[in-house]
């Protein structure tokens, strides 16, 4: 099984600001803008919070509530009205899709989605950033793959419910695919009591990637087993040994500044599977 750390949502380049951590601890992912999408921010909710006023307030009106959004990955039924047969879905294309294909990512493999977040507060009926709160990378969702659909020749009729998806507004383009979620998570033989996709609705320290008091959001602190020793292949795009070091029973990683999909072979890191299970269960 492959484990993919997948960067999604607003950041300093796409959207221009982080996604918010609400005062009650909810993580609210802001999808990047997409003029070809059919979905506006005003139509979307995440973790029970409508996105329209959040995106308008936090970008100071630069991105309005009626701006169209690239809702991808789309992991919870409650985010939008749904057609019968809907399942969580994630799209990828271009160089990032090529990397996933080169790494052999397919059915049974598991995405962990992370993004850039910062705490917010509500003052005078408007959202604003908490002035002394630093941004950080946090895991916010997961999806195990059931099927991979190439969209180069259109959307198969059995998946017509996905026609709203932003990648289905690019039908016929080469190097464009949808990953469809499993109904139930299966990390080992016989499992099946956890959903195949979903969100981590609230901030938690165990799902934070950025090290506490780090100078950069890309300075991560991971469990000790992530360290690529004994000839094990490191997380893709992180082959430079200088990016890795051991630190007090943990693994410190200077993550690459850009890139969307980072792949780990859990056959070489069996500790990854109980780690993922605990994240989802909790």
Q: pLDDT band for position 13 (50/70/90)?
A: confident
Average pLDDT, the chain: 95
> How far apart (Å, rounded) are the C-alpha atoms in residues 250 and 253?
10
Residues in the chain: 282
Rounded to whole angstroms, the Cα distance separating 261 from 91 reads 12
Mean pLDDT of 31-43: 97
Q: Is the pLDDT of residue 223 over 80?
A: yes
Give pLDDT, residue 193. Answer: 87
Whether the bond into 73 is cis, omega within 30 of 0: yes
pLDDT bucket at 56, cuts 50 / 70 / 90: very high
Does any domain span residue 134? yes
Residue 105: which pLDDT band, with cuts at 50, 70 and 90?
A: very high
Q: How large is the average pLDDT for residues 101-109?
A: 97
Could you tell me the residue range of the domain that residue 119 belongs to?
A: 2-9+75-281
Considering the domain boundaries, does residue 48 fall inside one?
A: no
Q: Give the 3-state DSSP-derived string for 173-217, with helices as H, strands as E and coil as C.
A: CCCEEEEEECCECCCCCCCCCCECEEECCECCHHHECECCCCCCC
How high is the pLDDT of residue 172?
81
60 part of a folded domain? no
Q: Does residue 42 lie in a domain region?
A: no
Rounded percentage of the chain residues whose pLDDT exceeds 90? 91
Domain membership of residue 57 (yes or no) is: no
Q: How far apart are CA 157 and CA 190, in angstroms?
A: 31
Per-residue confidence (pLDDT) for residue 145, from 0 to 100: 98
Q: Is the pLDDT of residue 255 over 80?
A: yes
Q: Which pLDDT score is estimated for 169?
A: 95
Query: What backbone phi and psi angles, to 5 degrees, belong to 247?
Result: -150, 100
Cα distance between residue 263 and residue 247, in whole Å: 22
Residue pointed to by tokens 């992530």: 226
pLDDT tens across 58-74, in order?
Answer: 999 999 999 999 999 99
Q: State pLDDT tens for residues 170-183.
A: 998 889 999 999 99
**Phi and psi angles of residue 159, each rounded to the nearest 5 degrees, phi first:** -115, 30
pLDDT confidence of residue 14: 86
Q: Is residue 49 helix, strand or coil?
A: strand
CA contacts within 13 A on the Cβ side of 265? 11
Give the pLDDT of residue 12: 83
Residue 73 DSSP one-character state: S
- pTM of the predicted model as reported, rounded to 2 decimal places: 0.96
In a domain? residue 25: no
Strands 110-123 and 136-150, sheet pairing: antiparallel
- Asked whether residue 188 is assigned to any structural domain, the reply reads yes
Q: Which positions ≥6 away from 137 have C-beta within 8 Å? A: 114, 115, 116, 117, 208, 209, 210, 217, 218, 220, 255
> For the chain, what is the domain count?
1
Location of structure tokens 């701006």? 67
Decide if pLDDT at 191 tops 80: no
pLDDT tens digits for range 115-158: 999 999 999 999 999 999 999 999 999 999 999 999 988 899 99
Are 44 and 82 in contact by the 8 Å Cβ rule? The answer is no
- The CA distance from 28 to 36, in Å, is 23
Residue 87: per-residue pLDDT:
97
Evaluate if residue 202 carries a pLDDT over 80. Answer: yes
Amino acid 173: pLDDT = 84
Query: Are 145 and 178 contacting, i.e. CB atoms less than 8 angstroms apart?
Result: no
**Looking at 77-86, 131-140, 187-196, which range is the least confident one?**
187-196
Q: What is the mean pLDDT of residues 249-272?
A: 95
Residue 164 lies in a domain: yes
Per the listing, tokens 């803008």 go with: 33
């Amino acid at each position: 099984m492959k484990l993919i750390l997948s960067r999604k949502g607003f950041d300093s380049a796409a959207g221009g600001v982080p996604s918010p951590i609400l005062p009650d601890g909810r993580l609210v992912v802001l999808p990047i803008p997409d003029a070809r999408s059919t979905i506006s921010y005003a139509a979307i909710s995440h973790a029970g919070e409508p996105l329209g006023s959040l995106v308008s307030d936090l970008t100071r009106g630069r991105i309005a509530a009626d701006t169209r959004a690239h809702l991808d990955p789309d992991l919870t039924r409650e985010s939008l009205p749904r057609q019968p047969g809907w399942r969580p879905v994630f799209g990828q294309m271009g160089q990032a899709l090529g990397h996933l294909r080169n790494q052999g990512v397919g059915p049974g493999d598991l995405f962990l989605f992370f993004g850039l977040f910062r705490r917010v507060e509500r003052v005078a009926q408007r959202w604003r950033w908490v002035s002394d709160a630093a941004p950080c990378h946090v895991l916010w969702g997961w999806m195990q793959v059931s099927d991979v659909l190439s969209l180069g020749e259109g959307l198969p009729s059995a998946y017509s419910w996905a026609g709203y998806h932003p990648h289905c507004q690019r039908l016929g383009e080469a190097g464009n695919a949808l990953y469809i979620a499993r109904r139930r998570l299966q990390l080992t033989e016989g499992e099946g009591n956890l959903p195949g996709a979903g969100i981590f609705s609230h901030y938690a320290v165990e799902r934070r990637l950025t090290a506490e008091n780090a100078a950069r959001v890309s300075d991560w602190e991971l469990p000790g087993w992530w360290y690529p020793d004994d000839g094990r292949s490191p997380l893709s795009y992180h082959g430079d040994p200088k990016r890795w070091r051991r630190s007090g029973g943990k693994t410190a990683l200077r993550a690459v500044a850009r890139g969307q999909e980072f792949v780990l072979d859990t056959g070489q890191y069996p500790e990854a599977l109980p780690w993922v299970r605990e994240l989802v269960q909790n």
